[in-house]
Amino acid sequence: MKTIPHRSATTGRPNRRQGGIALLEAMLAIVILGIGLVGTIGLQARAYAALSDASQRAEATLAGEKLLGVMNADSNNVLNYSVTEGGTPTAAIKPWVDETQALIPGAVIGVTVTPQQLRVQVDISIKWKRKAGDAPNQHLVTSYIAI
């Protein structure tokens, strides 16, 4: 017996098998899904880095405000709270420097106290690097304390 190929109703030509098209479509869908997942992973890495930077910036802000509060409460001895970047802190500021460096690993801290007529200008600089090779981040707070 002879097999008669099926003919298309509109053209009268034999239908050709389209074997493998479904496999090709599945592979294309997997490639597109893979590209989307790689992009999502990249975005997550960037979001984590931004979150880490924001966390350290918040710690620097809180540390600066804490030191200003301590200095305000001890305004008679405010000149004892000065420390150069990378220098040895005095006894008055050492606990704050140690606490800040524990909260912000690798922090370089500088506090400049500049006497003026009826007040003292306080500049607090906290620098840190999120990872080796990055440019340093800096948080600078300037405030005035009446004496």
Residue 114: inside a domain: yes
pLDDT of amino acid 21: 85
Q: Does residue 2 surpass a pLDDT of 70?
A: no
Residue 36: inside a domain: yes
Per-residue pLDDT band at 32 (split at 50, 70, 90):
very high
Q: One-letter amino acid identity for 127? A: K
- 75's CB contacts (< 8 A; 6+ apart) are 120, 145, 146, 147
Considering the entire predicted model, what is its pTM? 0.69
- 139's CB contacts (< 8 A; 6+ apart) are 57, 60, 61, 64, 125, 126, 127
Residue 94: inside a domain: yes
Residue 6: inside a domain: no
Residue 4: inside a domain: no
Per the prediction, the chain carries an average pLDDT of: 87
Of 70, 62, 61, residue with least CA distance to 113:
70
pLDDT digits (tens, 9 = 90+) for 41-58: 999 988 888 888 888 899
Total number of domains in the chain: 1
Residue 13: inside a domain: no
Q: One-letter amino acid identity for 120? A: V
Residue 12: inside a domain: no
pLDDT of amino acid 135: 85
pLDDT digits (tens, 9 = 90+) for 82-100: 999 989 999 999 999 999 9
Residue 128: inside a domain: yes
Range(s) of the domain holding residue 50: 21-146
